[in-house]
Structure 1
């Protein structure tokens, strides 16, 4: 009897295991559905804005933009912030730590509706690509480097060598890589940068007997856990504590405890799943994609000889990551410098790879093209936020939830604060942007019911971290697009852990309020 392809069906205990009856939409389609939802909201949710404060360094003043569009200037002093009800320290504005406009508590006003119609809907993804061009260029240049290394056979040869070293101890891959990525997330907000790891680590995990989902979990979930339980991440905890007017050291012990517990739970979850898949591949949630995934990422035939040009080229590629991490940690590089690193890497690879110039360029451009879908996902995801911002309803959503939780008991308040930040994290998919917009509003509400600012910041961190596991406007669709795995399979895999993490975060917050 002819075998059906793995993509169409697989056998589990002799019985066919077929694809989902309802095909889940691709990443781009999901994002357009979310865009449509956001556009509809701009027609039904009342438009409104808080007055925003921003420091103007050239004039050494605070510029305040009111909801009606009028502006005024105030002295850049602590007295001005205190008068406006903003608890942040003035030094955080003067030294540039807080650079985004800060919402002023108690200033929300209704404004004229600005619904996003057909033209605005069509322009949103285009503008989203414009605004995300720094990340998109990074993805393209990374793809070019990987295309050349794949053509050389360097990655295949390296994976074969690594597999021989780790044979019998494959579980070390999960532990070591997860801890490294978690450390990056909790210290400097390692997130988008992890896209670069999939083409490198997928062949390693496949060769070790794991499936694609194990690799995705280690990389994506590791970064989510690290950023959700940020300890010194300047883009999350740094901005949030400054917006609240407290030291980053306050609440540090709670953050380390949460990080340790969250890491152990997520690591145990992934290791249990990975062990189950290695013993019985049919237990994989992407088993019906096994043939296609292994064709793309697995080692085919005899591994090529690990030649000197391969070793030198891989060393250049590896050093680029070292430089990248150094620049992010030591000099707060953003994607312009990060992309420049891989541009330099590309130039050096042209001399070390041993390929003819024409072949090199063909493979390089082909590698860039392989990541086109990832680049488009990044740009279209930004379109959702553009529709909400231009529709003037982001502040309304914040105002509604801040009013809904005011005056509750401390325990109920902090649990509801977690729920609020999960929802806000979906609509405002930027850790620093969410902190600057919401913490000045939420911190006074917490003080009124006896909840500390550190607990408010923990709720902010846990909430926006939780929603990052599944929100289409975040990094998950771009990550799945890298390895061509449907969102439905990721959701099936992560749902039990998501429920566990929600309960854990709620318990951590209650403990922080009561102790």
Structure 2
């Protein structure tokens, strides 16, 4: 009689810890902020007229005030108020989703991507540095990293058809715009405002900032290219392998198919797109347009381009509705992220945190003061994820503080740029960034795994530039 085979028992492994849902994470951060209103002393700066009619602070006016910790009702209303406060970018996110769904229904995105992919077919890796450089130059000039929301829907089919993945597409869009925003060669919203507050000539010192832009763009391009090569060699290595299954079925073999036909109406629709792009550029650079104005233009773009390409009004409306659904989560995240700042402001501790962090810099050794400023700006960016908003709050403190520490005001502004810019695509309190991840179908946890090594590299590069600026007494 043969011995009976014993089937080995399968030991179930305990589920490893996973990052909580982004809603949960942001709600917890907002809850911690609410608790801090019971611990951190309340304080306030006096507000004064700042550059371009915007409100700034008087750095010598900080005073402790009566505590006003958040009640349960205040906390309960923080997220709805965050939605209200961030309404422009939420609306912009919806419009981007709807407009690009209309363009997809016309098939002109697929046609354009097909031809662009064939152009780079033999040297596909070159598409990465070319696009990163282009988007960085646009961002460093007009200062709108939110345009990454526009780029991602086009880049995903392009990157996947070339053998890459959604992470590559998101990286091209997010990293390039963040780099241009950080270097801020001619950015009116960060360097422009900061130099006005510091009493410096507007856009002075652009030569060093241009060198910064070139260096960080090269580093970012090499980093993304290295990842993209790994994915193309072995798709399983992709951070978004599971998320891209549908897209791979749709786009992966696009280059092996016959060239997509294009009718005359689609051709005219494609030719109309550069006109809208030119209007956006002119509006942002010359007329001061931002989210609201761009949203209105994109609505018209979707309707007009859809009609030119042959879609009926009903199909255009249905496409908008479908696009709204696809970006719903991203729009909600923006409001929840904004609730963190709402809690700190209502609890009267935002100014206290800024004042305390500014005071910390004074305890750094003189040779490390500029790096300390960068670190402080990095922390503040978590609570104020707006470049211009952070400049208006922090630079009135940092500019005179730099005089006492022996750091030039130009260097203090550079420290602000590094502390503010790179973090825009790391912290979950950055609304447009979280919306971009949702549009790309990438979780924040996976993005952090991909981006954190590059972020550390950029912090080190920023520190080296600051050491150079301080050692040379850089004044621009």
* Structure 1 residue aligned with 2:213: 259
Q: Paired residue for 2:337?
A: 381
Cross-structure match for 1:49? 44
**Aligned pair partner of 1:31 in 20, 26, 35:** 26
The 5 A counterparts of 1:158-177 are 158-177=112-131
Deviation at 1:498, TM superposition (A): 1.2
Distance 1:36 1:292, change over 3 A: farther
Q: Contact 2:68–2:348 (CA<8 Å) still a contact in 1? A: yes
- Does 2:468 match 1:511? yes
State the Cα deviation string for residues 383-407 of structure 1 (Å, max 9, x = none). Answer: 2111111111111011112222225
**1:145–1:367 contact (8 Å) kept in structure 2:** yes
**Aligned with 2:48: secondary structure?**
strand
8 A contact 2:129–2:221 mirrored in 1: yes
TM-superposed CA distance for 1:512, in Å, is 0.6
C-alpha distance after superposition, 1:210-235 (max 9, x if no partner)? 11111111100111111111111000
Once the two structures are superposed, what CA deviation does each residue of 1:232-264 show, in whole Å capped at 9, x if it has no partner? Answer: 100000000001111134332221222221111
Give, in whole Å, the separation in 2 of the partners of 1:147 and 1:289: 19
The total of aligned residue pairs comes to 457
Could you tell me which of 204, 221, 224 is aligned with 1:250? 204
1:145 Cα offset (Å): 2.2
Rounded to whole Å, the distance in 2 between the matches of 1:136 and 1:297 is 29
What is the distance in 1 between the residues matched to 2:345 and 2:194? Answer: 21
* 1:37-436 matched pairs, under 5 angstroms: 37-54=32-49, 97-294=51-248, 305-406=261-362, 408-436=364-392
3-state SS, counterpart of residue 468 of structure 1: helix
Partners of 2:93 and 2:435 within 8 A in 1: no
Q: Judging changes above 3 Å, is the alpha-carbon distance between structure 1 residues 480 and 455 closer, same or farther for their aligned structure 2 residues?
A: same
How far apart, in 1, do the equivalents of 2:110 and 2:98 lie? 17
CA offset at residue 481 of structure 1? Answer: 0.5
1:56-79: CA deviation from partner (whole Å, max 9, x where unpaired):
xxxxxxxxxxxxxxxxxxxxxxxx
User: As a proportion of its length, which structure holds more helix?
Assistant: 2
Stretch moving more, 414-423 or 404-413: 404-413
The answer on whether the counterparts of 2:163 and 2:252 sit within 8 Å (CA) in structure 1 is no
The 8 Å contact of residues 101 and 320 in structure 2, kept in 1 or not, is answered as yes
1:441 to 391, 397, 409: 397
TM-score of the superposition, structure 2-length normalised?
0.90
Cα offsets for 1:30-57 (capped at 9, x unmatched):
3222222222222221110112212xxx
Deviation at 1:278, TM superposition (A): 1.4
Q: Label 1:30 to 1:415 Cα distance change in 2 as closer, same or farther (>3 A).
A: same
Shift of 1:361: 2.0
Whether contact under 8 Å (1:27, 1:481) holds in the other structure is no
In structure 2, the partner of 1:484 is 441
| Unaligned runs of at least 5 residues, structure 2 | 1-12
Structure 2 distance, partners of 1:335, 1:114, is 33
Secondary structure (helix, strand or coil) at the match of 1:28 reads helix
- Equivalents in 2 of 1:436, 1:458: separation in Å? 15
Aligned equivalents of 1:316, 1:27: Cα separation in 2: 38
- Work out the CA distance in 1 between the residues paired with 2:183 and 2:441: 28
Could you tell me how far 1:513 is from its partner in structure 2? 0.5
Is it true that 1:451 corresponds to 2:407 in the alignment?
Answer: yes
What are the ranges of 5 or more consecutive residues in structure 1 without an aligned counterpart? 1-17, 55-92
In the TM superposition, what whole-angstrom CA distance separates every residue of 1:457-481 from its partner, at most 9, and x where no partner exists?
Answer: 1111100113223111113321110
Distance across 2 between alignment mates of 1:279 and 1:335: 39
- What is the RMSD of the two structures over their aligned residues, measured on CA atoms? 2.3
User: Normalization by structure 1: what TM-score?
Assistant: 0.84
Conserved 8 A contact 1:124-1:383: yes
